[in-house]
């Protein structure tokens, strides 16, 4: 559906203004969809992002700074997210034996199992954008990368 119809705004200041609003609206739409898919699993989109980062590093523990650097939403409070995941026994936190100021985070077997359970649901959720072609997706990626400079 066209942005004009979605937000009931027939005119924009120009194509750049519309593009910005379109990106923001679409980002919010994608976030809402992901939140809906993850809700039955009791984790947020940001917590899911942390688990995926840790799975990519597994079996090597990750310092908090590495997780923060790789987050999609860099405004997330990584310490709080990790603590919530620790309370659910999805990650473990240990002080690094070589550097006591560093805390190492490791995804647990329970966390890995949860990701395996969520994987097919998220793959099916990715089909929300199957109305564009692979070529269009590649072009969209190119344009978004260019936008961020």
- Domain match, 15 and 88 both: no
Q: Mind listing the pLDDT tens digit for each residue in 48-95? A: 999 999 999 999 999 999 999 999 988 779 999 999 999 999 999 998
Residue 108 structural domain: 42-125
Residue 141 has pLDDT above 90, yes or no: yes
User: Is the pTM higher than 0.85?
Assistant: yes
Distance CA 145, CA 7 (A): 26
**What pLDDT does residue 128 have?**
78
Classify residue 94: in a domain, yes or no: yes
Q: Mind listing the pLDDT tens digit for each residue in 4-36? A: 999 999 899 999 999 999 999 999 999 999 999
Q: Where in the chain does DSSP place strands (E)?
A: 62-63, 91-95, 103-107
- Average pLDDT, stretch 102-110? 94
**What pLDDT does residue 144 have?**
95
Task: Return the SS3 of 130.
Answer: coil
Distance CA 53, CA 66 (A): 9
- Work out how many domains the chain is built from and give that number: 2
């Amino acid at each position: 559906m066209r942005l004009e119809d979605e937000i009931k705004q027939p005119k924009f200041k120009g194509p750049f203004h519309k593009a910005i609003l379109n990106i923001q609206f679409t980002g919010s739409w994608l976030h809402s969809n992901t939140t809906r898919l993850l809700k039955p699993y009791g984790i947020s989109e940001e917590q899911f992002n942390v688990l995926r980062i840790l799975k990519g590093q597994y079996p090597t523990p990750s310092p908090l700074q590495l997780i923060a650097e790789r987050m999609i939403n860099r405004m997330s409070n990584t310490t709080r997210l990790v603590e919530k995941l620790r309370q659910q026994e999805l990650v473990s936190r240990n002080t690094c034996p070589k550097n006591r100021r560093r805390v190492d985070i490791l995804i647990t077997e329970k966390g890995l199992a949860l990701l395996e359970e969520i994987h097919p649901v998220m793959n099916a959720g990715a089909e929300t954008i199957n109305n564009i072609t692979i070529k269009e997706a590649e072009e969209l990626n190119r344009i978004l990368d260019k936008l961020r400079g």
